[in-house]
Amino acid sequence: MRTKSIVIATMAAFSLFAGMAAFTLKGSAAENNEKEVERYRQMLDDPFANPGFLNVERGEQLWHLKRGTKNVSLESCDLGEGPGILKGAYAHLPRYFADAGKVMDLEQRLLWCMDKVQGLDIKPIMAKAFAKPGQTSDMEDLVAFIANKSNGVKISLPLSNPKEKEAYAIGEALFFRRSSLMDFSCATCHGQEGKRIRLQNLPDLATPNPTAIATMVSHPAYRASESELRTMQNRLDGCYKQMRLPAPNYASDANTDLILYMTKQAEGGAIHTPGMKR
């Protein structure tokens, strides 16, 4: 009887050891995978290798293109630094705009300028906000161009306006709000350090930290798995769908508030776009 107990205990210990070994191997494989992904990103981190720079070039052409009923370009659009000034604009968005009476991110502001400055029908633009095979996106191209002009500028969102403070509070509430079939929130995946899905590290976007900075300063980013450049609005759309939630309307106030909250966690990080993602 005692011998049987010893055998059972030995087998249990061996199973536990085997399980721990498997866990270690998985952990090691995950680390190696992440290192290879990072090496891949570094290889593409220059204008001659990152396909996202094609979006930057198309965006520059769109910025100078005269369109709409007023037949003017976007060069007189004020993105917060003054009409036509691009340097630093992306690093200080979302922010409050007095002429619109609301807090806007870059994509919201561009749509506002297309409508008010150019007299352009923005419905077709919004309908094609996200690129897909055979279809480019004016919005993603413009964001890539404008964001790239702020490379090296540190993110700074003072939240000095009451509307900005309100938007931040709403964004925080949305970030932690659990709902839908999965009972997920943004914080479920991005609320603490060390989480991963499959072999992909998940950044902590709930507090100021290096992973939040790395994420927010690198968007818009070229996603190799989709062969397209993606803005943060697009990334939110994908996250909501993964949570089995209907995504907010494109360029909605809800998206802007959430982006404001997450961007604030990356305060002090220097913009570096277009980034490279899996």
Q: How far is CA 237 from CA 173, 246, 251, in A?
A: 18, 9, 10
Say if CB 55 and CB 229 are below 8 A apart: yes
Active site residue 239: yes
Of 77, 186, 189, 239, the catalytic one is 239
CA distance 198 to 240: 19
Contact residues for 270 (Cβ-Cβ < 8 A; gap 6+) = 151, 152, 153, 154, 155, 217
Short-list 219, 94, 92, 79, CA closest to 154: 92
With vertex at residue 203, the alpha carbon angle to CA 172 and CA 50, rounded to the nearest 5 degrees, is 115
User: Cα separation of 84 and 75, whole Å?
Assistant: 5
Instruction: Count other Cβ atoms within 10 Å, centred on residue 115.
Output: 14
Would the CA dihedral through 63, 83, 151, 232 be positive or negative?
negative
Active site residues: 239
